[in-house]
């Protein structure tokens, strides 16, 4: 029987330094022992901040001005952060897990077995545990971070988007693991994608963009009563893809692709790879027998965590050593022996978005980050100001122009990194999981932007775990498994455009 409160804030007011608006204003919120609670709300509505307040990280470890009439913190808790890289204390997998066990006074003779059991529970399969954490994919890091939290056996679990970086099978396994250990625990979960968890949470709390609670209750009641608000806030709710694809924007993104220009049906590819290998940590990270990318292609790159998807993109940018034929816009990149020159050439033709958005931030303000990308456009100060305002609105970052990029939510950071690449308008755009951590409305905004770029002749290569993007929005799907490109498929959407390209190429071969 759920009777007592394990975490509570009453009349909470919180505002980040330098900000004019409150994240929370007179928020009252409580969690009862044994509850399995899902916090739902649009990106940037304060959900992650609330977890840090309820756990005591704010203000005890992160100094943020706040005030509340009453606060109750759980006696035993564990928190999984949005970004797993912020959670690790040690450089190697076994050392990270041992650090937790040592603090629990677990005998060394028992540590190895405890490590293997918890890694198996979260689905992280490693032949050797003494491996660098930075050699893992982001999805593998997420599983390791969850394993570290579970080792401490906390009474209350705060989970901040634990499945955001995982492949579909990994998401199922993570939530199966969480459900298995949840019986005698309290769970407070922040998650955008709710398909796997809606069956075992017993309460949903819905926030609006201003960090106010607009509704709470049993999941089925919240989704039924507040459907209009869910749609308005752009939250992932059951059936959101169906609703989107029936809208005008959704129909544009899913209808058969037709060439938009002569350039798009050109027989000259943007990219050719043959007997190509990308190298990492002294070994082969990704192999491609042969692949070509043409103007107007939208290629979804799929595969399990750690398969080599990010390694492919990093190799194309010249950030990893590579071997074999690599032709980029008729330039033989494999003939360029100077590593710096190869990267400069790639950067001239390719827009790139890292899996971790913080890797590419160089400015102290959101607006300056975008202005830096516009520096080569030759625009007047007034034109730059207008362009920046347009991009901020397009990517849902309006009102945040003076905030430091590191102070954004993970979803906002991701959108800023995409926005920075958007203004460059390079012929080839490489996106490493741009939609992770995004609510529905911002996911669709990113896809709309990609379609605009694709229709202008740009080629898009996007690493994604979203099956609807791969099957419905992309024109081609590449599957990577165990460090190898194992299949290249034309999607239903891409067949019309490819047939027209083929006709153009065949006709061109007979011209004199």
Domains of the chain: 5-245 (3.40.50.300), 269-506 (3.40.50.300)
Of the listed ranges 13-22, 49-58, 278-287, the one predicted with least confidence? 13-22
The predicted model gives 381-388 an average pLDDT of 92
The predicted model gives 104-128 an average pLDDT of 92
**Angle between helical axes of 138-151 and 93-103 (0-180°, round to 10):** 20
Using pLDDT thresholds of 50, 70 and 90, give the confidence band for residue 266: low
**C-beta of residue 401 within 8 angstroms of C-beta of residue 408:** no
Q: With the C-alpha atoms ordered 109, 110, 115, 116, is the resulting torsion angle positive or negative? A: positive
Using pLDDT thresholds of 50, 70 and 90, give the confidence band for residue 479: very high
Q: With the C-alpha atoms ordered 428, 432, 436, 438, is the resulting torsion angle positive or negative? A: negative
The mean pLDDT value of the chain amounts to 89
List, as one string, the DSSP characters of 134-149. GGS-HHHHHHHHHHHH
Residue 505 has pLDDT above 80, yes or no: no
Token couple for 342: 């190869």
Q: What is the C-alpha to C-alpha distance for residues 185 and 407, in angstroms, rounded to an integer?
A: 31
Report pTM: 0.84
Ordered alpha helix ranges (H), 9-156: 47-55, 57-60, 93-103, 108-121, 138-151
Using pLDDT thresholds of 50, 70 and 90, give the confidence band for residue 157: very high
pLDDT at res. 507? 37
Which helix (H) or strand (E) segment is 38 a member of? strand 36-40
Give the single-character DSSP code of 68. Answer: -
Using pLDDT thresholds of 50, 70 and 90, give the confidence band for residue 254: confident
Residue 509 has pLDDT above 70, yes or no: no
Share of residues in the chain with pLDDT > 90 (%): 66
Residue 501 has pLDDT above 70, yes or no: no
pLDDT at res. 494? 87
302 phi, psi to nearest 5 deg: -120, 170
Q: Are strands 24-32 and 271-280 parallel, antiparallel or unpaired?
A: unpaired
Q: What is the C-alpha to C-alpha distance for residues 80 and 67, in angstroms, rounded to an integer?
A: 24
pLDDT at res. 510? 30
- Whole-number CA gyration radius for the chain: 24
Please list the residues that pair with 157 across neighbouring strands. 78, 187
At residue 133's C-alpha, the angle toward residues 129 and 134, to 5°, is 145
Task: Return the closest-CA partner of residue 149 out of 105, 107, 88, 237.
Answer: 88
List, as one string, the DSSP characters of 344-363. HHHHHHEEEE-SSGGGG--S
Residue 110 has pLDDT above 50, yes or no: yes
Q: What is the C-alpha to C-alpha distance for residues 84 and 94, in angstroms, rounded to an integer?
A: 16
């Amino acid at each position: 029987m759920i009777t007592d409160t394990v975490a509570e804030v009453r009349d909470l007011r919180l505002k980040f330094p330098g900000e004019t608006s409150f994240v929370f204003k007179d928020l009252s919120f409580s969690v009862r022992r044994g509850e399995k609670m899902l916090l739902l709300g649009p990106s940037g509505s304060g959900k992650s901040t609330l977890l840090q307040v309820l756990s005591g990280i704010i203000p005890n470890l992160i100094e943020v001005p706040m005030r509340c009439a009453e606060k109750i913190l759980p006696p035993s808790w564990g928190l999984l952060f949005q970004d797993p890289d912020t959670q690790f204390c040690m450089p190697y997998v076994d050392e990270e897990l041992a650090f937790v066990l040592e603090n629990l006074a677990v005998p060394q003779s028992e540590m190895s077995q405890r490590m293997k059991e918890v890694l198996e529970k979260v689905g992280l399969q490693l032949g050797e545990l003494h491996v660098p954490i930075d050699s893992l994919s982001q999805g593998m890091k997420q599983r390791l971070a969850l394993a570290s939290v579970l080792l401490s056996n906390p009474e209350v679990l705060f989970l901040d988007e634990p499945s955001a970086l995982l492949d579909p099978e990994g998401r199922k396994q993570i939530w199966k693991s969480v459900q298995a250990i949840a019986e005698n625990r309290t769970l407070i979960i922040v998650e955008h994608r709710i398909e796997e968890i809606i069956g075992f949470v017993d309460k949903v709390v819905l926030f609006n963009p201003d960090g106010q609670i607009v509704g709470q209750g049993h999941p089925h009641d919240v989704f039924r009563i507040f459907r209009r608000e869910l749609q308005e806030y752009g939250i992932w709710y059951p059936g959101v893809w169906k609703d989107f694809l029936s809208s005008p924007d959704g129909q544009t993104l899913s209808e058969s692709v037709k060439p938009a220009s002569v350039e798009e049906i050109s027989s000259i590819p943007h990219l050719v790879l043959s007997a190509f290998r990308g190298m990492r940590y002294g070994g082969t990270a990704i192999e491609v027998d042969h692949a070509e990318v043409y103007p107007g292609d939208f290629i979804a790159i799929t595969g399990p965590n750690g398969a080599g998807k990010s390694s492919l993109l990093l190799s194309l940018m010249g950030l990893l050593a590579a071997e074999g034929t690599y032709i980029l816009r008729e330039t033989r990149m494999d003939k360029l022996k100077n590593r710096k020159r190869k990267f400069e050439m790639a950067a001239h033709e390719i827009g790139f978005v890292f899996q971790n958005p913080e890797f590419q931030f160089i400015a102290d303000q959101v607006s300056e980050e975008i202005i830096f990308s516009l520096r080569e456009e030759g625009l007047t100060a007034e034109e730059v100001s207008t362009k920046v305002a347009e991009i901020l609105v397009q990517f849902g970052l309006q009102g945040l122009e003076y905030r430091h990029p590191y102070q954004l939510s993970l979803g906002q950071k991701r959108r800023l990194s995409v926005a920075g690449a958007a203004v460059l308008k390079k012929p080839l755009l490489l996106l490493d999981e741009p939609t992770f951590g995004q609510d529905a409305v911002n996911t669709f905004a990113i896809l709309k932007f990609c379609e605009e770029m694709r229709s202008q002749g740009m080629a898009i290569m996007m690493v994604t775990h979203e099956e609807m993007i791969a099957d419905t929005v992309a024109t081609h799907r590449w599957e990577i498994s165990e460090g190898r490109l194992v299949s290249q498929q034309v999607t239903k959407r891409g067949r019309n455009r490819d047939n027209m390209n083929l006709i153009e190429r065949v006709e061109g071969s007979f011209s004199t």
